[in-house]
Structure 1
């Protein structure tokens, strides 16, 4: 799956985060690709993803609880 390195808005980041998690759930990508993708998104866009150690409101609204639970567990591994 092709992901950008840097995102312009929180909404753009959330859209690709959704695509990444959905691809994993649909078994299009493997677990290690999911982990690498989330890791890269976080390292390059952490200010758009987290604020005060919580997901930003835009990301919460766009992604939903189930996807963010997966993202949070992956971030705990890093």
Structure 2
């Protein structure tokens, strides 16, 4: 799965995050690819993903609780 390093908006980031998690759930990508992709997105787009120790409102609204639970677990693995 092809991912960008830098995203222009929070909505673009959320859409890619959703595609990545959904691809994992549909068994189109392996767990390692999911973890690498999310860590890469986080490292290069921290300001668009997190604010005040939580996900930004746009990310929360676009991605939903189940996807963000997966993302949060991966980010805690550091």
Aligned length: 78
Distance in 1, Cα, partners of 2:5 & 2:63:
19
Q: Using the TM superposition, give the Cα deviation of residue 22 of structure 1 relative to its aligned residue in structure 2, in angstroms.
A: 0.1
Gaps spanning 5+ residues in structure 2: where?
Answer: none
RMSD (Å) for aligned C-alpha atoms: 0.3
Match of residue 49 from structure 1: 49
SS of match in other structure, 2:21: helix
**TM-score, structure 2 length as denominator?**
0.99
Q: Which runs of 4+ in 1 moved over 3 A?
A: none
Gaps spanning 5+ residues in structure 1: where?
Answer: none
Q: Using the TM superposition, give the Cα deviation of residue 34 of structure 1 relative to its aligned residue in structure 2, in angstroms.
A: 0.2
Q: Using the TM superposition, give the Cα deviation of residue 23 of structure 1 relative to its aligned residue in structure 2, in angstroms.
A: 0.2
Superposed CA offset, 1:22-67 (max 9, x none)? 0000000000000000000000001000001100000000000000
**TM-score, structure 1 length as denominator?**
0.99
